[in-house]
Structure 1
Amino acid sequence: MSDIAEPVLWARVEGIALGALRADLAHEYWRWESDPGAVLGYGRQVPESAESRAEGLEHQLRGAPDQARFTVYDTRGGETAPCGLASLLIDHQVRTAEFVLVVAPESRGRGVGTAATRLTLDYAFHVIGLEMVWLKVLEPNAAGRTAYAKAGFREVGTMRSAGTWKGRRCGEVVMDALPEDFPWPSVIAGDSNEKR
């Protein structure tokens, strides 16, 4: 993607970085989210058209106070390559957010998910000041559950028969993270992990 201007990166850890959403990446976002592995991971049954995704991205690019959305970049290997999306869907009244992550199929299994999750939690706790971040992951998605746990999430329960995995009903595991579960210094705030 040498024809694309170098992105501004807000935070970086272990060769993975977060930056803003970009209109010129609309097709890539759609490709990642439409990949069968991502569709399976979300438990979604219906594919989304590229046009519908582009329309949704236009809304997301305008920004909303209840959303923090990031492009995930892999900076290992000498170039800055977009490789995923991370989102916080914020409930300001209770200071919490739902976390959603999608990683490009060619970048899975390389530590991108764990590092992107860690950076997003860092942003959630040290920039937005959230008190808790949560997510849902399908019970059979062992790779996702492991990546989230490595980044600071804990499993707190299972919603029985709440999802579909490979055409079969399965549970959805609920995981959450609190600021005190974040064991690393903040790369965003540049502090030494001061507790609030």
Structure 2
Amino acid sequence: MLWIASKSCGLGPYRADLVETYWAWEQDPALLVGYGRQVPESLEARAEGMTQQLRGANVRFTVYDLAGDEPVPVGVTTLLPDDAVRTAEFVIMIGKEARGRGLGTEATRLTLDYGFHVTNLRMVWLKVLAPNIGGVTAYERAGFQRAGVLREAGYWLGEVCDEVIMDALAREFPGPSVVKALFEG
């Protein structure tokens, strides 16, 4: 089941039956470096964590590649809301096999669309390690802008690096909106 979709990418429910798939993506060294996390996690710990995540108030999606005959799960996007101020932190994870094809950018854009038009957020923000040029570029293509820098706040390949703070505002969201199209159709 897809909640919203473009031609190439869809967002559906975060699923307990995919915990092993999510875990496998999270063990990829490139993902560990990009997240700034230095340690892998056991499947048992991940399954326990997922139980908590499924009960939480965060907005989580499984990202699907729609290029084939059937939707294929390729990643996860998450909005971590702060309801008091109508903002959320954005986090994305795309599996190695799906990187470099624009699916991360499209999943980010769809998640922003949902956040602004369904969850009624006014701003979404993220942190990305400065050396992750591909990530910064993908976020900019999806509608994020650079908002600032946390100096020496992260690590990239064993070296201290800056973290770039980026934000996207609902009033500046680049269209067209897939969510709004559902109501106009």
1:136 aligned partner, one-letter code: K
In the TM superposition, residue 171 of structure 1 has moved relative to its aligned partner by 0.2
Root-mean-square deviation (CA, aligned residues, Å) is 1.4
Contact 1:131 1:178 in 2 (8 A): yes
Q: Give the CA deviation at 1:61.
A: 2.0
1:42 is matched with 35
The whole-number CA distance in structure 2 between the counterparts of 1:21 and 1:73 is 11
CA offset at residue 192 of structure 1?
A: 9.2
Unaligned runs of 5+ in 2: none
Runs (4 or more) in structure 1 with deviation over 6 Å come to: none
Matched AA of 2:171: E
- Relative to the length of structure 1, the TM-score reads 0.90
Secondary structure at the residue paired with 2:17? Answer: helix
Cα deviation per residue 1:20-69 (whole Å; 9 max; x = unaligned)? 0111110010011111111010010111111111111112223x33x100
More helix by share: 2
Sequence identity (%): 57
CA distance in 2, matches of 1:169, 1:14: 39
User: Match of 1:188, SS?
Assistant: helix
Q: Residue in 1 aligned with 2:60?
A: 69
Indicate conservation of the 8 Å contact 1:158/1:174, yes or no. yes
Q: Which amino acid aligns with 2:39?
A: V
Counterpart among 159, 162, 169 of residue 178 in structure 1: 169
TM-score normalised by length of structure 2: 0.96
What SS class does the counterpart of residue 118 from structure 2 fall into?
Answer: helix
CA offsets per residue over residues 75-94 of structure 1, 9 Å max, x none? 11222100000000000001
